[in-house]
Structure 1
Amino acid sequence: MITRRKFIVTTGLAATAVWARPTLVFSMKKKEIGIQLYTLRKELPKDVKTTLEKVAKVGYTTVETYGFSTKDQFWGLTPKELKKILDDNRLKAVSGHYNLGSFLYDGNTSELIASIEAAKTLESEFLTIPWIDEPFRRNIEDYKKIAARVNEAAVMCKKAGLKLTYHNHDFEFQKHDGITGYEILLKETDKNLVYFELDLYWVIHSGNDPLKLFKENPGRFKMWHVKDKDKNNNDLNTEIGSGSIDFKPLFEEARQSGMIHFFVEQENNFAKDSFQSIQQSCDFISKNILS
């Protein structure tokens, strides 16, 4: 994290360069590398404490949680207990993926309220919707209904001091009578309340261009998932820098995107084991993208 003193020194020495190349604002101020903890979904339920200790040791400073439920909380830990482990390792859960129960489909707010309370306990900035079940996203009207629910949730989040974001897969980019579900979500949600977590892998996998989305919707993509595509099998992930996605041009437009946090994610195809993979990804980003 850049301290106030370091910021003053840095800006004093490099003001000319910033004016010459505005994209440098991101690389100068932002050195935090985050991880979506779903990457470690096999390890976390077995030993949360040790897993998070290893995450911090690798060099990650922010995390995005997943898997919260009113029954099991976070892998058997209460939000308060998880917060203690994060604090002990100087990790910050700036965001979390929360399924919100059935709220998106029938308006039941019970799990949404519990999710908001969990996110507040973790002192998160964002509460992120990770997924829409297939029966509820089959046509334009379905997406409009989802957008309306997302707006409702965003109002509740704002009252609690949180921001709401929506995380995409590839299905949102399927067309329904000439328009994609993602276009509907962008258009029908309140741009002052609803933001988006852009999964770069899924955007590219669907045949779309993140840079085009940045240009058409500046400032709405407050977070990214940084996930690489295996060169031999596009349906698989790989360590950042080992795949086919060139992340450098994307990070150069981080300012236009609005991105303030990003998370490494790898769902499969680990080189040796998941900890070596997240180390490799962290090292590549630190040396080749944020340097």
Structure 2
Amino acid sequence: MTQVGLQLYTVREEMEQDFRGTLEKVAALGYKGVEFHTFFGHGADEVKSMLDELGLVALGTHTSYGQLLEHLDAEIAYNKQIGNDTLIVPYLQAEERVWEDVFANLRKLGRRAREQGAVLAYHNHEFELTEQLDGKPVFDAMYEAVPAEDLQVEMDTCWVHYGGYDAVEYIGRYKGRLPIIHLKDMTRDADGKAITAELGVGEVDLKGIADAAIEAGVEWIVVEQDYCAGGKPLESIATSMEWIKKYAAEGAKLNV
């Protein structure tokens, strides 16, 4: 059954100030898993102990492209110690977006990860949808260029929406290669730029996306809010969990 996790980037300041205490609060809200973006200097054994005590699963780690290129083996080893086998490229800087080089490197990284019993995935923003390569979005060109066995999809459905595409249709398109989605909501400023928001307060078709993800066999629906306008991320993730629980209470096959 599909489970619900949190990308800890949402509560990054809280994590830096009180790593364990923040994990406790995340678990108390009902999130079953957590996706890391940094470990703030904590050792793998220490992190694993905290997760076990709190009943949390390490569902993935966002690890920079450069770090994967330079230190893949060490990153895999650390993550395996905390019980995680999924390493995710979270973002490419503009100067890194030489796509043929990126695709070649992802093939190599994915193969090396697979040989060590790990999984490589890629997390999109809107530019992979708005930028074209050979007449198609970079998003699609990437997954055509790199075999599924070497690169899985972590689809940020909000950025697919903001990029001008139908996230529900994209979930169906990548069914079977899509272990994780990010579920986030958004509003827009006066210039039409995205403002990430708590689930249920913006324009994204959250129910349609979540329904499609569950039908597609997605393992983890991960809540993420890049920036919390109210300045209180713990309150924001509590509000988003309220939406999740209401959605589940209406019959969704979610483990919450």
After TM superposition, give the deviation of residue 135 of structure 1 in Å: 1.1
Q: Give the counterpart letter for 1:262 in structure 2.
A: I
**Which one has more relative contact order, counting CA pairs under 8 Å at least 6 apart?**
2
1:45 paired to 2:16: yes
Q: Give the counterpart letter for 2:141 in structure 1.
A: I
Q: What are the within-5 Å matches in structure 2 for residues 47-196 of structure 1?
A: 47-67=18-38, 74-101=39-66, 109-137=69-97, 142-173=98-129, 174-176=131-133, 178-196=135-153
Q: Is the 8 A contact 1:220 1:257 kept in 2?
A: no
The one-character-per-residue Cα deviations of 1:175-195 (angstroms, maximum 9, x if unpaired) are 245232112211101112311
The one-character-per-residue Cα deviations of 1:222-248 (angstroms, maximum 9, x if unpaired) are 111111012666511111111111211
Q: What are the within-5 Å matches in structure 2 for residues 190-205 of structure 1?
A: 190-205=147-162
Q: Give the counterpart letter for 1:273 in structure 2.
A: K
Percent sequence identity over matched residues?
A: 29
User: TM-score, with normalisation over the residues of structure 2?
Assistant: 0.89
User: TM-score, with normalisation over the residues of structure 1?
Assistant: 0.79
Q: Give the match's secondary structure for 2:71.
A: helix
Q: Give the match's secondary structure for 1:161.
A: coil
Q: Give the match's secondary structure for 1:259.
A: coil
Q: Give the counterpart letter for 1:125 in structure 2.
A: D
The one-character-per-residue Cα deviations of 1:46-95 (angstroms, maximum 9, x if unpaired) are 1101111111111111000002xxxxxx1121122111111111111111
The one-character-per-residue Cα deviations of 1:140-197 (angstroms, maximum 9, x if unpaired) are xx21221121121112222222211100011111124523211221110111231110
How many pairs were matched up? 247
Query: Residues 100 and 118 of structure 1: is their aligned pair in 2 closer, same or farther, counting only changes over 3 Å?
Result: farther
Q: Is the 8 A contact 2:9 2:37 kept in 1?
A: yes
Structure 2 unaligned regions, length at least 5: 252-256
Give the strand-richer structure, 1 or 2: 2
Q: Is the 8 A contact 2:158 2:185 kept in 1?
A: yes
1:224 paired to 2:184: no
After TM superposition, give the deviation of residue 258 of structure 1 in Å: 4.2
Q: 2:10, 2:148 → 1: CA distance?
A: 30
Counterpart in 2 of 1:71? none
Larger Rg: 1
Q: Give the counterpart letter for 1:150 in structure 2.
A: L
Structure 1 unaligned regions, length at least 5: 1-28, 68-73, 104-108
Counterpart in 2 of 1:277? 236
Q: 1:286, 1:197 → 2: CA distance?
A: 23
Q: Give the match's secondary structure for 2:153.
A: strand
Q: Give the match's secondary structure for 2:26.
A: helix
Q: Give the counterpart letter for 2:16 in structure 1.
A: P
Query: Residues 255 and 288 of structure 1: is their aligned pair in 2 closer, same or farther, counting only changes over 3 Å?
Result: closer
Q: Is the 8 A contact 2:228 2:236 kept in 1?
A: no
